[in-house]
Amino acid sequence: MIRTVNKRMVFFLITTVVLSMGLKTEAQSQALMTLEQCRELALEHNKQIQMAQADAVASDYLVQSAKTKYLPRIDFAGGWINPGDRPLRPFAINFNIPGVTPQGFSITLDFISVAPKEVYTGGFILRQPIFMGFKIVEANKIARYTSELLHEKVKMEEADVLASVDEAFWRVISVQEKVTLAQTYKSLLDHLGQDLENLYTEGMTTRNEVLKVQVKKNEVELSLVKAKNGLALSKMLLGQIIGVDANQIELDTGIISEEQLSSRLLALTNNDTIERAEIVMLRNKLAITESARKMVKSQFLPNIFLTAGYNWTQPNLYKGTQNNFGGDWMIGVGVQIPVLTWGDRLHQVHMADQQVAKAKLELQDSQEKINLQIQQNRFKHAEALKRMELTKLSKEQAEENLRITKNSLLEGMNSVRDILEAQVMWEKASSADIDARVEAAVTLSQLEKSTGALYKYAEEHSLVHKQNR
């Protein structure tokens, strides 16, 4: 009886191995998208990047707008007035021409109205800054620094998105691998359960053995449902980042190899650390605060400007009350000198000094944090590589244990419980190996981001996209 059972078990184990290989091949045949392709799609379609790009483009117009402050400003003003009827009181005009008119002779005149019914006005006014206490110069600097800051923000956003792509990509790979693992495990239990049912029918095993397999199968089925739900959500997250419908995402189920990790790490080690966009942004922020301080200090200086204009009126007030348009021009120089502001300007200077000091501290603090982050990510990646090495050995040991258990079962030295335990060890070791490899890939991506490698990648590939458009 034992040999009959053993033969059935051997057939079952061989069948499940073949089945496992078939599942793996099918999954690989559906591989459509690589990590590189996902990165490219994200750089082109990600909404966070597009919003940052819109801000950067808007800042270019801000620079152009600031340049116009050097140029003269011309305004037109016009109006219409209806004063109504305004009668004048009667008054006397004395004509006293010696020798001609009698003494005290006068003529009384009664005017109904001498005011015009309607008055039209219009004119152009020109104002040209000559010296505005360096306000215009510093305002142009602030606009330029702001534009540079927002363009660097695009790079920062691109690097952040690329890091998110990598993490989401490997998350999908991880869950996908675990779905395949759970399916293989479930198929193994299905065959074992069917064989035991047949043996139970023949009176060659107990009902308890059958139930053990059924309980384990139920647990695996629940794990498989959770894994499939997790896979769907993981694809949705990746799809949202790269701008692709989740139903169109099919990734290569192959776990990253040690050779791939080593080559990427070597390339990272051989390159100098690239200055991160955050540091460039903070330098621009410091420059903005310094220019803002100069603008505040310029309030102590006079403002000088040239004014000119031409005005028209109807009736022509320049020539009595002629009922036609007429006018005249004017030109002058204006000077505005601050005299007394009760200490307001001085307080604003002190506030600006503090903003500059704060910006300097932010720059230093960020640089220190980035250096710390780089070192932390180097340690995390080294730990992940070591963990990957250990889980690989554990997986190999679990596979060997499963093989030995199979052979022992052939000799009648093991029971169903032993084979179930060996399968559990193999499943846990395989799952841990998947987690370790994914962690190694994710931590390497984080190291690439902290050292600035992703910034360089984003800059190079964004340039390619612009050239192709």
Contacts of 133 (CB under 8 A, 6+ apart): 298, 299, 300, 301, 302, 303
**pLDDT tens digits for 340-367?**
888 888 999 999 999 999 999 999 999 9
d(CA 68, CA 223): 66
Alpha-carbon separation of residue 364 from 279, 293, 367, 378 (angstroms)? 9, 20, 5, 22
d(CA 401, CA 414): 12
d(CA 66, CA 71): 10
**pLDDT tens digits for 85-112?**
555 455 544 544 454 445 554 444 444 4
pLDDT at residue 4, as a whole number: 44
pLDDT at residue 85, as a whole number: 56
What type of residue is 422?
Answer: A
Architecture of domain 2-85+138-302+344-468: Up-down Bundle (1.20)
pLDDT at residue 230, as a whole number: 94
pLDDT at residue 188, as a whole number: 83
pLDDT at residue 48, as a whole number: 94
Asked if 117 contacts 82 with a C-beta cutoff of 8 angstroms, the reply is yes
What angle (nearest 5°) sits at the alpha carbon of residue 285, between those of residues 368 and 55? 115
d(CA 421, CA 404): 12
Asked if 249 contacts 30 with a C-beta cutoff of 8 angstroms, the reply is no
pLDDT at residue 24, as a whole number: 43
Q: Hey, what are 444's tokens?
A: 């390497």
pLDDT at residue 324, as a whole number: 64
Alpha-carbon separation of residue 304 from 135, 309, 333 (angstroms)? 12, 17, 7
Domain ranges of the chain: 2-85+138-302+344-468
119-131/303-314 β-pairing: antiparallel
- Nearest by Cα to 382 from 326, 434, 440, 423: 440
d(CA 111, CA 91): 9
What type of residue is 116?
Answer: P
Please count the helices (runs of H) and the strands (runs of E) in the chain.
10, 6
Alpha-carbon separation of residue 241 from 34, 277, 449 (angstroms)? 15, 21, 17
Return contacts of 254-258, CB within 8 angstroms, 24+ apart: 254/28, 254/31, 255/173, 255/177, 255/433, 255/434, 255/437, 255/438, 256/170, 256/437, 256/438, 256/440, 256/441, 258/388
Walk along the chain (469 residues) and give the pLDDT tens digit of each residue: 444 444 444 444 444 443 444 444 443 444 468 889 999 999 999 999 999 999 999 999 999 999 999 999 999 988 877 766 555 455 544 544 454 445 554 444 444 444 556 777 888 999 999 998 899 999 999 999 999 999 999 999 999 999 999 999 999 999 999 999 999 899 888 887 887 788 788 887 788 888 888 898 999 999 999 999 999 999 999 999 999 999 889 887 667 777 777 777 777 765 556 788 899 999 999 999 999 999 999 989 999 999 999 888 776 655 555 556 667 788 999 898 888 888 888 999 999 999 999 999 999 999 999 999 999 999 999 999 999 999 999 999 998 998 888 777 555 566 778 888 888 999 999 999 999 999 999 999 999 999 888 888 888 877 655 555 5
Asked if 402 contacts 414 with a C-beta cutoff of 8 angstroms, the reply is no
